[in-house]
Every structure is written in C-alpha cells, then in structure tokens.
Amino acid sequence: MKKIIVICDSDSFYAIRLMEYIKRRELGFQVLVFTERDSFEEYIKDNHIEILLLGETLSLKGLLEDKVKYLYILSELPIKAGDTDEKTIFKYQSADELLSQVFTSYTKKQNETVKIHASNERKIISLISIPPNRSKFCFTFSYAYLLSERRKVLFIPLDFLPLSFLSFMDDSNPALSEFIYYLKADNSNLISKMNQLIRCTDRVSYLTGLSHGLDLLSVTKEEMSGWIEEVKKQTDYDLIIFYLGSFAECTLETIRQSDEVLIIMSESSDDEAAVKELERQLNLIEITTETDKFVKIIIPNHEWKEDRKLSLQELKSMETWFSAKQYIGRL
C-alpha cells in the first residue's frame, strides 16, 4: 500500500499544481489535495497520512493527533535566516527546492528511526570520471538515483571543479567544504555533523558544495579512511556512492576502500588514453585494476550549452539516464 502525501491549502490553483508536480516525480506516494477544512476533516477520520503539507492559513487544531506522521507548514512569507524549524517551508519557492527541503527533513527523520545494520552489509561504490564532464556526472547521479529506488543511498561527489548545472540539487552552500573543515579539526561526532549538512533529492541523499577544490587536496588518506569507516559503522545507508572527478590522495584512498569501481568513459580516443594512464598510475601504487572490482562503462556524450540547467524531468529523458538504467538492470 502506497504512503500518502496530502496537500491541504485553500489556494486550489497552487495545491493542484504542486500535486501534479509531485506525481510527475514518481516518488511512490499517493498524492491527494484538499482545499476546504470540511472535506479534509471527513477524510482524516478514517485515514493516516505520511506527509501533510498544510497551508498556514488553515486551522486544523484537534484533527491531526495520531493521524499525521510528518507535518510541514507552507508559509506565506520567506523563512528568516537562521530559522532552524524544519516544519516550516516557504510556499512560493520553486517546486524543486520545496520538495528537496521536505524530503531532506523527511529522510533524516526516517533514518533516525531505523536500526543501523552491521557495517559489512554496506558497499562503497566509486565512479571514476577522468577527465570529468557533465555527461559523466549525469550518469553517476542517475545511477545513484535509480539505486535509491531500491536501497538507501548516500551520494558524495569529489571534484576539484564542480559545475552547478542540475537545478534540483542545492549547491548554494559549501556544505562539503564545511564538513572537510570539521573532519580535519575534530572527528568526534563526525556523522552527526555530516547528517546536518546532507540534502536530499527524492530518496537519494547527497553531500555537495565546495568553496575551493583545494579543500579536497587537504584531505589525507588517513582522514578519508576514517570518514568511510564511520559512515559504514554509524549510518544506515546501504550504498555510499562517490563520484571521483579528481586525482588526489583522498580519492585514491576512496578507490582502495571501494567494493566496486566503475570507470566511466565516452567513446573518444582522449578518454581511452586518459584511462590507460590512470590504470598505469594506479598499478604503480599497487592498486591493481585487472580485477572484477574494476569495470569500464562506455556512456553516450552529450553536447551542452554553457549555461544550461537541467531539471530532474530533463535528466530522466537523457541518454545518460537510460544508460544508467540499462546498466543497473544487469546487476
């Protein structure tokens, strides 16, 4: 039985548009709309709601007890800086951002209630993108997103020069740089700090946002190893997926720690030459690529307009999405 998201707002045009958007995202929820108290009151007598998005102009005191698992208030005014109340969401922002905030909070709360499994049940998967480009990043995010439909996924891109071109990912804050600073200064309560900085797009959690690529260069192999170990021991993610668009001490340690390494290539002689050199250098430091752990994947390359920003719906229509879907279908 599908869990239920209810939008309860007196503005019928807004509520119906938001419902249509959430349905297009295919999140596995049933989505319902109510614009009047009476009809909602009748419905909630005999039903339980997983997520309720409630317009702040509607007063529903006394109706929601034991009936709604997660309540979010749709505020008519922007949220003030520094306000940490996760239950209040600014109503008139983009639907991408609104849903990202809701599901970031929802996923974190769900994770808090889940028993942590043994660390040996988790897998570390690295996708190497050398040289990096937007098509390879799209493939990697598509791969993480599709896997999140089956398992709990944490996606962490490690790239010196990250490009902000997916409109639904919040790269506005340097969350990854903030975490790296914390990692280097004090690794106590490391996972608690990481969880504060994680965002979500639908079911996939991610940690992104660099102030400067040099932040990655500062991370030692010991720090990277310790971070991965803590993620495996103290979180309930089934899969931790790294996008490696850089060649540094921390990314080499990530490759060592990975259970699977996918080398993403486009059909070009430059990519083929770069991967051969990568393999040579890895072998020099005793990371043998001639094992089942390493798999090469050829993906289609896409022509990009410089300033183009992709929506999730656009990403799902790209060749890289179907390439990722085809690859996962063989797992």
With respect to residue 79, please indicate whether it lies within any of the assigned structural domains. Answer: yes
What is the spatial distance between Cα 234 and Cα 189, in angstroms, rounded to a whole number? 10
Instruction: Report pLDDT digits (tens) over 22-45.
Output: 998 888 899 999 998 888 888 988
The domain boundary, picked from 73, 92, 111, lies at 92
CATH number reported for the structural domain that contains residue 189 in this entry: 3.40.50.300
Residues 79-102 have a mean pLDDT of 79
pLDDT of 286 > 60? The answer is yes
| Count of the separate structural domains present in the chain | 2
Query: Of 92, 111, 127, which one is at a domain's C-terminal end?
Result: 92
The answer on 305 and 169 residing in a single domain is yes
- Quote the domain boundaries for residue 30: 3-92
Phi and psi at 162, nearest 5°, equal: -65, 140
In a domain, 110, yes or no: no
Residue 103 is assigned to a structural domain of this protein: no
Q: Answer yes or no: are the C-beta atoms of 293 and 258 closer than 8 Å.
A: yes
Does a cis peptide bond (omega within 30 degrees of 0) precede residue 131?
A: yes
Taking every pair of C-alpha atoms in the chain, what is the biggest distance, in angstroms? 71
d(CA 294, CA 292): 5
pLDDT at 143 exceeding the cut of 80: yes
Using 50, 70 and 90 to split pLDDT, how confident is the model at 60? low
112 — pLDDT class (breaks 50, 70, 90):
low
87: in domain: yes
Position 268 pLDDT exceeds 90: no
- Has residue 134 got a pLDDT over 60? yes
Q: Is residue 109 part of a domain?
A: no
Contact status, residue 202 vs residue 194, Cβ threshold 8 Å: no
DSSP labels for 29-69?
Answer: EEEEEE-SHHHHHHHHTS--EEEEEEETT---TTT-TTTEE
φ, ψ (nearest 5 deg) of residue 297? -125, 125
Asked if residue 166 is part of any domain, the answer here is yes
